[in-house]
Amino acid sequence: MKVENKVGQRVPEVTFQTRENDNWVKRTTADIFKGKKVVVFSLPGAYTPTCSSAQLPRYNELAAAFRQNGVSEVICLSVNDAFVMNAWKSAQNAANVTFLPDGNGEFTEKMGMLCDKTAIGFGKRSWRYSMLVNDGVIEKIFVEPDKDGDPFEVSDADTMLEAINPKAAKPEFVSIITRDGCPHCARAKKLLDAKGFQYEELKLGPALTSRSIRAMTGRSTVPQVFIGGKHIGGADDLEKHFANK
């Protein structure tokens, strides 16, 4: 779809019907944007493949980097109701992103981003785009090209962060393999927490055994820490890694 350049325009005045603690809460455009710098990314639908596997997870991962570069809030907007958006947020474990339901498509239509997805049973949905909004005014906007299907080329989190600050530091991916009751695992996690690392914890169990650890690392002990695709090792190795930084 073809969209006019909206840089310098104000975002539409609407009221969003959200759900907080099982109560309806109305949030206006002013509540969300006034006096703040906000990143918004809008997508065709909750639980859909590209949205769930690529766009949302990366914005969640880079939320801290956005905050370090002056962004107050990262918002995911979709033409879905509040119940669906809240359930999707929980399923995605996306605690760093605010989910904003545009159930009636009012904001999306006023943005000129409402598109017809009836051919796949979606009805009216949002075209995929992202924008940086400063005190209600659009400073940057990235709209996916007018192509068939569901293009995902410019509205990603990395493109937005680089547009805000080309030299912005990005977090490294960290995973740690642990076992319940392991004091060395607790020590390694404490080290990662102290350094401000977010990490994925994988616990030993039926799906992950000591044989698996040996196959991946050549060791059978826990913890085993991986940072940025590199195997660091156990808690002692992690201490040495940070000491050499």
Which residues are catalytically annotated? Answer: 51
DSSP type of residue 105: -
Contact by Cβ (8 Å): 203, 180: yes
Q: What share of the chain is helix, strand, coil (3-state, %, to 5)?
A: 35, 30, 40
Pairs from 22-30 (Cβ < 8 Å, separation ≥ 24) = 24/82, 27/100, 29/107, 29/136, 30/136
Torsion, Cα of 212, 218, 223, 226 (10° steps): -90
Q: Would the CA dihedral through 108, 109, 111, 115 be positive or negative?
A: positive
Strands 37-43 and 73-78 turn out to be: parallel
Q: Which long-range contacts (CB under 8 A, 24 or more apart) does 117-124 make?
A: 117/44, 122/44, 122/45, 124/79
Is 245 in a helix, a strand, or coil? coil
